[in-house]
A and B are shown apart, each in its own frame.
Chain A
Amino acid sequence: MLRYAARRLLFSIPTLLVISFIVFALLDLAPNDPTAQLPLTIPPETRQAIRENLGLGQPFHVRYLRWLTQFMVHEPLNLAERMWGVEIGNSEERLRVRSWSTRAPVVDLIATRLPQTLTVVGVSYLVAVLLAVPVGVFSAYRQYSIFDHVGTFVTTVGFSVPTFFTGTVLIVVFSATLGWLPSIYDTTHQVTDFDSFVYQVRQMVMPVMVLGLYNAAQLSRFTRSAVLDNLNQEYVRTARAKGLTEPVVILVHVLRNSLIPVVTVIALGLPSTFAGAIITEQIFRINGVGQLLIGAIESADIPTVQTVTFIFAVLIVVFNLLADLLYGVLDPRIRYD
């Protein structure tokens, strides 16, 4: 297992290097101009000076290698310095990946955005899992019952109606008409006592429900079909023939075997928690990582887009590996060595 993990980790290095090149090159080749959004009253000569100040005058390979060293060497060093409070080399002069529109280090921007993304998107993912698994198991167990039909209907709706629609409908109903919930997420809000906790829950309800419903729809369909596959297996009949009670058959035998594919889906979906939810964050003004990415795309802030995209790529590679390792843990038949 350990050897397998180490081999996979080594393999991921060239993979990530190729990804980094593709991400950088694609974004660099796309027609883009960080000064395009400035008012037309700023003359072309000034725009040229701004572009040069941003480092756009240099050739492609110089910029790529600089970005790569900044990201692969300088940023980890900075992170290490901050975590252990030590100074490694001359950290003042170390060049960091800087955003064009804010001129601040991109990693710092992501750090300020992560808390709100993890709270809202993370909680919604949790809600989705807690909802989806029981619903999926019960729908499968009582296949073609009223519960199954209603569940199928709700999940189909949840999966096919886009979040920008459900989000807006919720705002119109609960904020604009009824006035129960705030439509704008307050990122400065701090939970200090019970009242502020209640406010935090109130401002999280709508985004969490919108995202949770969407994710739960997908997961519960997965769970349902996995459980259905297992219910018809010989070992289930054996278990029942042994005289085991139905709860034991379902929750111990069937559920554990059915969860293997579901866990993979959940693990592969986890990076998206860090990536945030672009649309939902935009609608409720949560201003997390997803909003950072979309804002950077709109303002042609290429270093931010490159860095955020590449971090997602790293997360996806890592969680893929984790999912594979989890397989081995959940299913004793799978052996990697």
Chain B
Amino acid sequence: MRLKPRLFILTLAAILSLVSAAAGERGSDGQLKMLYWQAPSILNPFLSGGTKDIHAASLVLEPLARYDEQGGMVPALVVEIPTVENGGVSTDFLSITWRLRDDVVWSDGSPFTAADVAFTAAYCMDPEGGCSAASRFQDVKAVEAVDSHTVRITFKVPMPFPYVPFVGSVSPVIQEKQFEACTGARAPACAEQNFGPVGTGPFKVTEFRPNDIVLYELNDRYRDPNQPAFSSVLLKGGGDAVSAARAVLKTGEFDYAWNLQVEPEILAAMATAGRGEVVSAFGSMVERLVVQLTNPDPALDDKRSTYQDGANPHPFLSDAAVRRALSMAIDREILVAAGYGPAGRVTCSVLPAPAVYASTVNDWCKIQDIAGANKLLDDAGWVRGRDDIRAKDGVRLSILYQTSTNSVRQGTQALIKQMWREIGVETELKNINASVFFGGDPSSPDTYQKFYADIQMYTNSFDGTDPQNYMQGWICDEIPGPENQWLGQNIPRYCDAAYDELARSLSKTAGTEQRAVIAREMNDRLVGHGALIPLVHRGEVAARALSLGGVRHNAWDATVWNIQEWHRLK
């Protein structure tokens, strides 16, 4: 009964929004001007993987289903989301059947059919194509067109969460007619197709200059006769984040700017001009410290930073008390205020969202506790020496702390160094150019996978809303080392049989609630054991002009996911 008034208001709001949407007229609001300081370089998301390119393509190319701003799935090119209940997902989780809408046509007038979906899968699964969304298709056995508007995807292994291929703007559907001759090794040579894909979305590309501008005009064959409200879109690239924010918030030259990682006080000052507002949305990005659990001593030569079944432990970070004390000593509020502002929140979890997966078990870390950390280290036998740095049995608590070169990260490093100084830990800071640090060159000693340091910091997140692949990154088999060309995802070299068992059961369990229970426990173990020290839950920040309506800023899908609903406020 208590729910009823809220339900009533929600229904009312839904009806009102429908009415206002219906009142809008297609193409009546002129040009929408968007600013992406990281300019799109290609409009085929399968050949790029870069977020900017995926966003720019999502105005044209659509997936079968997308995520809304809460992380919920909404049908796009399909009639409904398949579930076990409606018979769309088989009870053994080995197949999923999507029913396509029959009122969708490509912008060139040809009908959108199941064959296009099957072709897209073949395009991305071609081993020579270098498809950046290939991991979405790794467990797919076959994608077949059952009839002209039904697609069945069968999997090699049971998939309790089968909404992986064709969900979200990372893996949209491309037109078979257009890309037929562009499969496999020929994919990159099709510049014309890659620069002007034919799509089903609300807009179509009229001009594309790589790394400069994209011009779109409305697709008059779009399925909703009243959308989109804008007749054309100009997406301009180049410059830097600060001037992009200025163009929306202060000079009002643009309606929307994306990815504004700018010092919070600068954004706040610009917003006082009253032309625009800063919007942020929180997905799964977490800035974290990764703790080295194996020994990175250069003297170890080829055994350096490798996991030797527990025989190569870190000289002091293998002590759980040290790891816990390092986390307790950090004042995360200060890190957020100094470097993130509206784009950050304090977190004690590496899996802070969607809400159902968020755990509060490790929330002790939200409040800095220097005294507690000091006591913990005292009790563990780490005694302050004459230089005020703690040591035990000749091992000093001296940390090499590395991250990528980026002004916010260097600011965070300096703050944490100070905080750790207070508990008698010495820190040496190092920063590495991002293209080296995140580049996978096996011959470079400075990659994050090699981790030739004691602590390193970066942001990680997961694709979509299901954390299974992300959480499975910390099983023993994922530990990087020379034998797998340092390709594993278990960067802290964490190995815990109980964790591996949880990962196995997660891959077999269906139902969001039950999966969430397991995922939360996995997160609690990782953070509780101190393999990862979460710092900041990072949001995506954008700016919109006050005259731009309909923006529902989304961190789970492209921020422009509902651009067909955007309109000019009168």
Contacts and interface: CB of A to CB of B under 8 A. Distances in A.
A292 B440 CA distance: 24
Contacts of A33: 435-436, 438-441
A115 to B, nearest CB: 11
A5 interface: no
B362 to A, nearest CB: 22
A322 interface: no
Interface stretch (A39-47, A126-134, A256-264): A39-47
Contact of B444 (A31, A102, A109): A31
Interface string B46-84: 011111000000000000000000000000000000000
Interface string B234-251: 101111100100110011
A40 B434 CA distance: 12
Contacts of A49: 127, 130-131, 134
A186 B488 CA distance: 45
Interface in A154-186: 171, 175-176, 179, 182-184, 186
Given A39-B51, A41-B462, A103-B42, A32 B439 contact: yes
A183 B243 contact: yes
B188 interface: yes
A285 B238 contact: yes
A38 interface: yes
A68 to B, nearest CB: 20
Contact of A50 (B130, B234, B253, B458): B130
Given A33-B435, A184-B253, A287-B238, A45 B41 contact: no
Interface string B426-467: 000000011111111100101001000000001111110000
A35 interface: yes
Contact of A188 (B128, B207, B460): B207
A231 interface: no
Contacts of B446: 31
Contacts of B441: 31-33
A41 to B, nearest CB: 4
Give the interface size class of chain B: 35 or more
A54 B47 CA distance: 10
B132 interface: yes
B129 interface: yes
A171 B246 CA distance: 10
A286 B127 CA distance: 39
Give the interface size class of chain A: 35 or more
A295 B135 contact: no
Nearest to A53: B130
Contact of A42 (B39, B49, B211, B240): B49
A176 B269 CA distance: 13
A108 B207 CA distance: 15
Interface string A97-116: 01101111100110011000
B215 interface: yes
A220 to B, nearest CB: 30
A283 interface: yes
A103 B213 contact: no
B367 interface: no
B254 interface: yes
B475 to A, nearest CB: 14
A183 B249 CA distance: 13
Given A37-B50, A188-B215, A31 B194 contact: no
A109 B237 CA distance: 15
Nearest to A45: B487
Interface string B117-138: 0000000000111111011000
Given A36-B438, A50-B132, A188 B213 contact: yes
Contacts of B470: 41
Interface string B217-241: 0000000000000000010111110
Given A49-B130, A179-B251, A40 B438 contact: yes
Nearest to A108: B191
B253 A183 contact: yes
Contacts of A298: 435
A275 interface: no
B41 A299 contact: yes
Contacts of A283: 239, 243
A52 interface: yes
A31 B443 CA distance: 9
A282 interface: yes
A183 B433 CA distance: 30
B372 interface: no
Contacts of A32: 435-436, 439, 441
Nearest to B47: A103
B185 interface: yes
A37 B435 contact: yes
Contacts of A108: 191
A39 to B, nearest CB: 6
Contact of B238 (A39, A54, A109, A291): A291
Nearest to B249: A176
A300 interface: yes
B209 interface: yes
A298 B433 CA distance: 10
B342 to A, nearest CB: 21
A45 B135 CA distance: 8
Nearest to A287: B212
A238 interface: no
A184 B257 CA distance: 13
A44 B243 contact: no
A187 interface: yes
B210 interface: yes
B25 to A, nearest CB: 26
Contacts of A103: 42, 47, 188-189, 191, 194
A183 B246 CA distance: 10
Interface string B474-516: 0000000000000111000000000000000000000000000
Contact of B253 (A45, A113, A182): A182
A132 B250 CA distance: 36
B382 interface: no
A31 B438 CA distance: 11
Contact of A176 (B237, B251, B436): B251
Nearest to B242: A168
Given A36-B439, A49-B130, A171-B243, A187 B135 contact: no
Interface in B316-374: none
Contact of A37 (B134, B247, B438, B459): B438
Nearest to B270: A176
A142 to B, nearest CB: 41
B212 A102 contact: no
Contact of A41 (B130, B131, B463, B488): B463
Contact of A53 (B129, B213, B462, B463): B129
A15 interface: no
A31 B436 CA distance: 6
Contacts of A143: none
A183 B211 contact: no
Contact of B135 (A31, A46, A300): A46
Interface of A: 31-33, 35-54, 98-99, 101-105, 108-109, 112-113, 171, 175-176, 179, 182-184, 186-188, 281-283, 285-287, 291-292, 295, 298-300
Given A35-B439, A37-B438, A101-B50, 7 more contacts: A33-B435, A36-B439, A39-B50, A102-B211, A104-B42, A184-B254, A299-B41
19 contacts: A31-B435, A31-B444, A33-B438, A35-B439, A35-B440, A36-B439, A39-B50, A40-B459, A41-B460, A42-B135, A45-B135, A46-B132, A53-B128, A99-B41, A102-B191, A176-B251, A183-B246, A183-B247, A282-B240
